[in-house]
């Protein structure tokens, strides 16, 4: 992949779909980087990597730690760091914490969840030199307040709210928007209405790119699989089979052989 900039990513909107994937460590970031436009250090790591039931307990320190690892593994990649729940409640708090991300990692941008109510925060970040990716529609950091995860944009009023949220985040200066868990026609309308790239997850095909959580698409996260996930590898099964073979060979004394011995 070319070394992207905000300008080159924005230019892709009318050329081809943008590819985004999450990564949480150097090992996988290195594997992903050659095929992927943007690596997102998502706070989904709190669930798939750290085993929590939702993303809300992720901390800024954890996000920075994982972002450093991802940037170490993929130094040329365009890396976006998710701002965790509670780290951007006010514009000043957001700026203080986003500055920490910029000062302690080479991340190119931060992502924050929220629509019109977060526009002032996005504006404050952008005015102070932080590049921002927005996130509207289903916002996982709202899971407790919403009482669960549910598809958004099911009626006209909800569609209009999502459109207004997306427009507000673009007007505030975000250079890219993630839209999650919405009816397909809603995401299509948002992608058409905005001039910045709109990246979908559970948002249908007519957007400007797609993002998936890496451990979902490699079939490693088994706790639950949302409808929008496609698994490109039976990761969990393959890992279990490999580890069983290793354990069997150790017990049978068929590993190591002379080939693996000094
Ligand atoms: O945390 C995350 O991985 C995300 C993606 C689902 C977009 O925000």
Determine phi and psi for 40, rounding to 5 degrees. Answer: -105, 120
Please tell me the predicted confidence (pLDDT) of residue 223: 85
Is residue 77 classed as helix, strand or coil in its secondary structure? coil
Token pair for 96: 């203080």
Residue with the smallest CA separation from ligand 1 atom 3 is 42
Tell me the pLDDT tens digit for each residue of 214-239: 999 999 998 888 899 999 999 999 99
Report percent pLDDT > 70 for the chain: 99
Domain that holds residue 247: 234-262
The Cα–Cα gap between 142 and 114 comes to: 9
Token pair for 30: 């290195």
| Overall domain count for the chain | 2
CATH code of residue 181: 3.20.20.60
Residue with tokens 């500055």: 99
Mutate to test the pocket of ligand 1, among 20, 32, 138, 213 (most ligand atoms within 8 A of CB): 213
Instruction: Kindly state whether residues 204 and 161 are assigned to the same domain.
Output: yes
The Cα–Cα gap between 231 and 47 comes to: 18
Instruction: Kindly state whether residues 252 and 159 are assigned to the same domain.
Output: no
Sign of the torsion angle spanned by Cα atoms 80, 16, 200, 187: positive
pLDDT band at 2 (very low <50, low <70, confident <90, very high): low
Instruction: Kindly state whether residues 213 and 196 are assigned to the same domain.
Output: yes
Pocket flag, ligand 1, residue 82 (CB < 6 Å)? yes
- Examine residue 1 and state whether it is found in any structural domain, yes or no: no
- Examine residue 105 and state whether it is found in any structural domain, yes or no: yes
Instruction: Kindly state whether residues 192 and 241 are assigned to the same domain.
Output: no
Instruction: Kindly state whether residues 172 and 238 are assigned to the same domain.
Output: no
User: What is the distance in A from the centroid of ligand 1 to the CA of 250?
Assistant: 39
The Cα–Cα gap between 26 and 24 comes to: 7
pLDDT band at 251 (very low <50, low <70, confident <90, very high): very high
Tell me the pLDDT tens digit for each residue of 109-166: 999 999 999 999 999 999 999 999 999 999 999 999 999 999 999 999 999 999 999 9
Residues recognised as catalytic: 180
Instruction: Kindly state whether residues 136 and 217 are assigned to the same domain.
Output: yes
Instruction: Kindly state whether residues 198 and 105 are assigned to the same domain.
Output: yes
Determine phi and psi for 115, rounding to 5 degrees. Answer: -105, -130
pLDDT at residue 72 is higher than 90: yes
In the predicted model, what is the mean pLDDT of the chain?
Answer: 97
Tell me the pLDDT tens digit for each residue of 168-187: 999 999 999 999 999 999 99
Instruction: Kindly state whether residues 249 and 178 are assigned to the same domain.
Output: no
Please tell me the predicted confidence (pLDDT) of residue 224: 80
């Amino acid at each position: 992949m070319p070394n992207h900039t905000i300008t080159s990513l924005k230019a892709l909107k009318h050329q081809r779909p943008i590819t985004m994937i999450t990564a949480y460590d150097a090992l996988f970031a290195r594997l992903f980087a050659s095929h992927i436009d943007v690596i997102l250090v998502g706070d989904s790591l709190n669930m798939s990597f750290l085993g929590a039931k939702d993303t809300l307990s992720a901390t800024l320190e954890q996000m920075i730690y994982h972002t450093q690892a991802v940037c170490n593994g993929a130094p040329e990649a365009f890396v976006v760091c998710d701002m965790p729940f509670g780290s951007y409640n006010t514009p000043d708090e957001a700026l203080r914490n986003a500055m920490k991300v910029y000062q302690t990692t080479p991340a190119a941008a931060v992502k924050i969840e929220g629509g019109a109510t977060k526009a002032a925060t996005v504006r404050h970040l952008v005015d102070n030199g932080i590049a921002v990716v927005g996130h509207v529609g289903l916002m996982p950091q709202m899971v407790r307040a919403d009482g669960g995860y549910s598809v958004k944009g099911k009626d006209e009023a909800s569609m209009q709210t999502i459109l207004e949220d997306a427009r507000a985040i673009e007007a505030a200066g975000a250079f890219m928007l993630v839209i999650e868990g919405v009816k397909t026609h809603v995401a299509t309308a948002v992608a058409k209405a905005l001039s910045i790239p709109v990246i979908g997850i559970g948002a249908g095909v007519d957007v400007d790119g797609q993002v998936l959580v890496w451990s979902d698409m490699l079939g490693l996260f088994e706790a639950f699989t949302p409808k929008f996930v496609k698994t490109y590898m039976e990761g969990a099964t393959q890992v279990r089979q490999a580890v069983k073979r290793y354990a069997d060979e150790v017990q049978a004394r068929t590993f190591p052989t002379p080939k693996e011995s000094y």
